[in-house]
Amino acid sequence: IAGAAALLLQAHPSWSHDEVKAALMATADPATVHSAEADAPASVLSAGAGRIDVARAATTDLVFEPSSVALTQATPGGAYTVTVAARDLRASGKRRAMTATISTSSGVTLTAPSRLDLLPGKDIEVSLALTVAPDTAPGDYEASLLLSGGAVVARLPIWIRVRARQEAAEVLVIDNDFSFFAGFGDYASYVEAALKAAGVSYQVWNTD
């Protein structure tokens, strides 16, 4: 990655750190990174943006800011809006139309403008609306936004962590006693027993 960044800076001395990173990520290929357990593309948490392509990164003139999106506190039935910028790196040229293509995991839905008109040297805000189905199980999900126009293609990877919906309660018990993975004693059960005996409602958040 460091060598790829050095080549991009040689080709584009005026690019910032963020633009170099964004170019590498927007032009990476996730389909060529496979999981160790199965002959299938790896998840976004394993593959990141994908396998870098230095030649494509050096010739691209379209990136995203930020270069990826992480939605870490989603809940079943939730709706969220995220705004990113599509940045046209050209110094000159005509207005160009980019077409948006969306892909998502089952259980989440992503909507975005179907077409964007970009001008050289300008950013355009892109509003992404993400919804989680009410019956979606807690876990990790992913989506992506692909902008394409002619030979130019830029991809934005998106990670969604869906957490179980917490009911209202008087006390939040934060369980961080290492019993889940280090074999230490589980003290949460004693706290829960005391709260039950006192008639206090509670929820448990297992941070282990």
Q: Per residue in 174-202, pLDDT tens? A: 988 888 777 788 888 899 999 999 999 99
Contact 28, 52 (CB under 8 A): yes
At residue 150 the predicted structure's pLDDT band, cuts being 50, 70 and 90, is: confident
pLDDT in tens, 55-103: 999 999 999 999 999 999 899 999 999 999 999 999 999 999 999 999 9
Give how far Cα 186 sits from Cα of 11, 53, 189, 191, Å: 57, 48, 7, 10
> Cβ neighbours of residue 32 under 8 Å, at least 6 residues apart?
50, 51
